[in-house]
Amino acid sequence: MQNEAPAAQIKVPQVTVLDAGGQYCHLIARKIRDLGVFAEVRPSETAASDLAGRKGLIISGGPNSVYDTGSPTVDPAIFRTNQPVLGICYGQQLMAHLLGGVVQKGDNGEYGPATLELNGGPDTPLFAGIRDHQQIWMNHRDLVVELPPGFSNIGATGTCAVAAMAAPSRRLYSVQFHPEVVHTTEGKRILANFVFDICGCVKDWDPRHRVPLVEDQIRRTAGNRNVFFFVSGGVDSTVAFTLCLRALGAERVRGIYVDTGLMREGETEFVNRLFDALGAGTVTIESAADQFLTPLRAVCDPEQKRRIIGEEFVRLQERIIESRHLMDGHWILGQGTIYPDTIESGGTEKAAIIKTHHNRVAGIQQLIAAQRIIEPLSDFYKDEVREIGRELGIAEDVLERHPFPGPGLAIRCLCAEHDEPVRSTPDGFLIPVRSVGVQGDERSYKAVLALDRFPAIEARLEDEATALVNRTRGVNRVVARVAGHAPLAGMRSSSSVLSVERLNRLRRADSIVRRISHESGFDKTVWQFPVVLIPVGAGERPDSVVLRPVHSVDGMTAQSVGMGEQLLRRMAAELMQLDCVCAVFYDVTHKPPGTIEWE
Ligand code: XMP
């Protein structure tokens, strides 16, 4: 790979995003480039004279208050050049502050979705074509409470009186919310209105140029240091690793794959073949099953499982880093973190409780703080990562792999502390295991309701499941029984741990499901297809298998997916032949109220 300058470097950007320290700053530039307009990111204090020729400027959000000493600012001259300026979040507060308005320091703030009411907004070019009552996404503490002279208020929410303001004759606009995130439904339209209608930009950017740009960024971040990765065989780390290989050359990139003993059947062999094809000799395999399985053996609580796995992973990483002298300043850690991972882990406290992402555990945070991390995909969503992978020539069977959770089969193999019978209720059978759900903003950990009905021939079981969960206290998930060696009323949960024997059982079941769903093409029609082992059965068959195929866009919400009768019967018949498997269930719960994984 030659180090020639990417096309982007010799182009003059039409839009500059002035970085005021916000976590979404790069995302703004990327969203503008997705619109076909070349945009760059520069420090917020960049002199107005250096920005001459830009068709538009955007001031990003940021974590500070305009009243903090040393908080980011902009060259006030940018407001006098007649270049259009859009302030976003902190950018709006800074505009108000510098131009004579008043910003009020907030104590609590507003985080998450809100509804934007347009105050005559459709007449404002920024909101052209946008209906009133739009979902927007807020993430701020301070507020503009008094407009600068010459500005009008063009949007409000229930809790934020100045959600947007404008001085169209001076071509100055600002919004308190984030148009660059997907949760702002018309965000793309608002940015398009700004760049095309207000700034007069023309399309000059092909999104395919992002590969040389990312490679260039990798070279700059790495400097003369080498990069090592803990690869997983998943799409994200494979694409990130390949980008680094291309940017830095095989000599400077190393990968380590850790077999935690929690992987699917054949996974280690798959990863071996995959990385041999990408760059022979660059990836080594570390077998560490005992290190993970021993502390997990007696643990039932899902968050405790995740914590143990996260901690063991960091311990192992540190051991590898030390033994291979990766800490000597010549090496930095590469990760396949993608954009939603960073939001989920850096978002609200609650989000972190629902699911702590293993890319953001304490040890990794320290490396981030020491600027010894490179995450080439941290601005991208999954679909974009797949597109980049395609451009890099990565095989389709790798790119189309379903997401697989970092803690692996540990969170798909449920354990129980006690024996307890399945109970019959007027609505169905109460299965005595607890699974994770999301109800409201709360994480729930409740029992499962089983219906003795064959899912593929029962219409609209998913709708029934929603109604059942809403009216049945203590339940967050509904399954339908596909097949069983014992009647539901005769089944019970039995005290069980995360043993190698049970993990192997789950591995076999998962492998059968994956083979049949691949042969039939069903895997292409779903976003993810977890297979779960629950310690519920009868006699010599203490466990059951749950099938959980879902549709989703980003994993944040999901719909249960139906399967044809013939296919389901074939899958169940093979699963029922496994030793110790008593029944097969089909999860008919959407997310919410049930999460995709059971734990
Ligand atoms: P849930 O179960 O929260 O899952 O609906 C949403 C998506 O996240 C994946 N997931 C995880 N991924 N570490 C991961 O790397 C985890 O601890 C974890 N928990 C859930 C899940 O597979 C789905 O794609």
pLDDT in tens, 501-510: 999 999 999 9
Question: Ligand 1 center to residue 86 CA distance, Å?
Answer: 36
Closest-CA residue to 165 (of 87, 227, 230)? 87
Angle between helix 289-296 and helix 302-323 axes, rounded to 10 deg:
150
* Total residues belonging to the chain: 599
Measured CA to CA, the distance from residue 376 to residue 332 in angstroms comes to 13
Report which residue type is found at 111. Answer: Y
Mutate to test the pocket of ligand 1, among 361, 445, 597, 598 (most ligand atoms within 8 A of CB): 597
Q: With contact defined as beta carbons under 8 Å apart, do 85 and 58 qualify?
A: yes
Report which residue type is found at 326. Answer: L
Please calculate the CA angle 509-513-518 and round it to the nearest 5 degrees. 150
CATH code for position 32 = 3.40.50.880
Task: Check residue 119 and give its pLDDT.
Answer: 81
Same domain, 53 and 161: yes
- Smallest CA separation from ligand 1 atom 23, residue: 555
- Which residue is it, tokens 């320091």? 105
Task: Check residue 346 and give its pLDDT.
Answer: 39
Same domain, 325 and 446: no
Question: Ligand 1 center to residue 297 CA distance, Å?
Answer: 21
Q: With contact defined as beta carbons under 8 Å apart, do 536 and 432 qualify?
A: yes
User: How many CA atoms does the CB half-sphere of 426 hold within 13 Å?
Assistant: 3
The token pair that represents 433 in the structure block: 């295991």
Strand order from edge to edge, sheet including 428-439: 423-425, 428-439, 442-451, 475-484, 581-587, 543-547, 531-534
Task: Check residue 319 and give its pLDDT.
Answer: 87
Q: Is 591 in the pocket of ligand 1 (CB under 6 A)?
A: yes
- Smallest CA separation from ligand 1 atom 20, residue: 405
Task: Check residue 8 and give its pLDDT.
Answer: 40
- Which residue is it, tokens 């794959």? 257
Same domain, 439 and 536: yes
- Which residue is it, tokens 């300043």? 329
Same domain, 155 and 219: no
Mutate to test the pocket of ligand 1, among 355, 442, 591 (most ligand atoms within 8 A of CB): 355
Q: With contact defined as beta carbons under 8 Å apart, do 568 and 482 qualify?
A: yes
Measured CA to CA, the distance from residue 194 to residue 200 in angstroms comes to 8
Spell out the residues 6+ positions from residue 597 whose beta carbon is closer than 8 angstroms to its own.
405, 411, 412, 436, 530, 532, 548
Same domain, 447 and 540: yes
Task: Check residue 4 and give its pLDDT.
Answer: 35
Task: Check residue 582 and give its pLDDT.
Answer: 98
Q: How does DSSP classify residue 557? A: S
Same domain, 477 and 547: yes
What sign results for the dihedral spanned by CA atoms 486, 435, 545, 454? positive
The token pair that represents 393 in the structure block: 């020539």
- Which residue is it, tokens 């005290």? 495
- Smallest CA separation from ligand 1 atom 4, residue: 596
- Smallest CA separation from ligand 1 atom 22, residue: 405
Measured CA to CA, the distance from residue 205 to residue 220 in angstroms comes to 22
Q: Is 555 in the pocket of ligand 1 (CB under 6 A)?
A: yes
Q: Of all atoms in ligand 1, which is nearest to the CA of residue 595? A: 5
Same domain, 345 and 444: no
CATH code for position 221 = 3.40.50.620
Domain end, chosen from 164, 198, 232, is at 198
Q: Is 596 in the pocket of ligand 1 (CB under 6 A)?
A: yes
The token pair that represents 141 in the structure block: 């503490």
Domain end, chosen from 363, 392, 408, is at 408
Q: Of all atoms in ligand 1, which is nearest to the CA of residue 530? A: 22
Q: Is 355 in the pocket of ligand 1 (CB under 6 A)?
A: yes
Judge whether 253 lies within some domain: yes
Backbone phi and psi for residue 150, each to the nearest 5 degrees, phi listed first? 90, -5
Question: Ligand 1 center to residue 27 CA distance, Å?
Answer: 23
Same domain, 142 and 254: no
Which residues belong to the active site? 89, 178, 180
Same domain, 53 and 186: yes
Judge whether 596 lies within some domain: no
Judge whether 598 lies within some domain: no
**Which parts of the chain register pLDDT below 50?**
1-10, 344-356
- Enclosing H/E stretch for 428: strand 428-439
Q: Is 306 in the pocket of ligand 1 (CB under 6 A)?
A: yes
Same domain, 245 and 389: yes
Total count of domains within the chain: 3
Same domain, 214 and 191: no
CA distances (Å), 154 to each of 127, 171, 483, in order? 9, 14, 59
Mutate to test the pocket of ligand 1, among 237, 338, 596 (most ligand atoms within 8 A of CB): 596
Question: Ligand 1 center to residue 597 CA distance, Å?
Answer: 7
Q: Of all atoms in ligand 1, which is nearest to the CA of residue 306? A: 17
Task: Check residue 208 and give its pLDDT.
Answer: 73
Alpha helices in 335-482 (DSSP H): 339-346, 349-354, 362-369, 382-391, 396-399, 461-471
Same domain, 224 and 320: yes
Task: Check residue 354 and give its pLDDT.
Answer: 34
Closest-CA residue to 392 (of 218, 261, 563, 520)? 218
Spell out the residues 6+ positions from residue 56 whose beta carbon is closer than 8 angstroms to its own.
14, 15, 83, 84, 85, 86, 194, 195, 198, 199, 201
Question: Ligand 1 center to residue 72 CA distance, Å?
Answer: 36
Judge whether 226 lies within some domain: yes
Q: Is 548 in the pocket of ligand 1 (CB under 6 A)?
A: no
Q: Is 406 in the pocket of ligand 1 (CB under 6 A)?
A: yes
CATH code for position 485 = 3.30.300.10
444-471 exposure pattern, b = at least 16 Cβ within 10 A, e = fewer: bebbbbbbeebbbeeeebbebbbebbee
Q: Is 594 in the pocket of ligand 1 (CB under 6 A)?
A: no
Q: Is 595 in the pocket of ligand 1 (CB under 6 A)?
A: yes
Report which residue type is found at 123. Answer: D
Q: Is 302 in the pocket of ligand 1 (CB under 6 A)?
A: no
Measured CA to CA, the distance from residue 374 to residue 355 in angstroms comes to 23
Question: Ligand 1 center to residue 553 CA distance, Å?
Answer: 13
Domain end, chosen from 408, 437, 458, is at 408
The token pair that represents 574 in the structure block: 């093979």
Task: Check residue 342 and give its pLDDT.
Answer: 64
Alpha helices in 521-596 (DSSP H): 565-576
Backbone phi and psi for residue 372, each to the nearest 5 degrees, phi listed first? -115, 35
Judge whether 2 lies within some domain: no
Task: Check residue 348 and give its pLDDT.
Answer: 30
Q: Of all atoms in ligand 1, which is nearest to the CA of residue 591? A: 5
Q: Is 403 in the pocket of ligand 1 (CB under 6 A)?
A: yes
Task: Check residue 11 and give its pLDDT.
Answer: 65
Task: Check residue 573 and give its pLDDT.
Answer: 98
Task: Check residue 100 and give its pLDDT.
Answer: 98
Question: Ligand 1 center to residue 551 CA distance, Å?
Answer: 14
Question: Beta-carbon neighbour count of residue 553 at 10 Å?
Answer: 12
Q: Of all atoms in ligand 1, which is nearest to the CA of residue 404? A: 22
Measured CA to CA, the distance from residue 65 to residue 90 in angstroms comes to 8
Measured CA to CA, the distance from residue 266 to residue 334 in angstroms comes to 25
The domain of 366 spans 207-408
What sign results for the dihedral spanned by CA atoms 218, 223, 224, 228? negative
Bridge partner list, 447: 475
Question: Ligand 1 center to residue 443 CA distance, Å?
Answer: 14
Alpha helices in 23-155 (DSSP H): 25-34, 90-98
Question: Ligand 1 center to residue 501 CA distance, Å?
Answer: 24
Measured CA to CA, the distance from residue 492 to residue 432 in angstroms comes to 7
Backbone phi and psi for residue 148, each to the nearest 5 degrees, phi listed first? -70, 155
pTM above 0.85, yes or no: no
Task: Check residue 440 and give its pLDDT.
Answer: 64
Angle between helix 382-391 and helix 210-222 axes, rounded to 10 deg:
90
Task: Check residue 41 and give its pLDDT.
Answer: 85
Q: With contact defined as beta carbons under 8 Å apart, do 87 and 46 qualify?
A: no
Bridge partner list, 218: none
Judge whether 595 lies within some domain: no
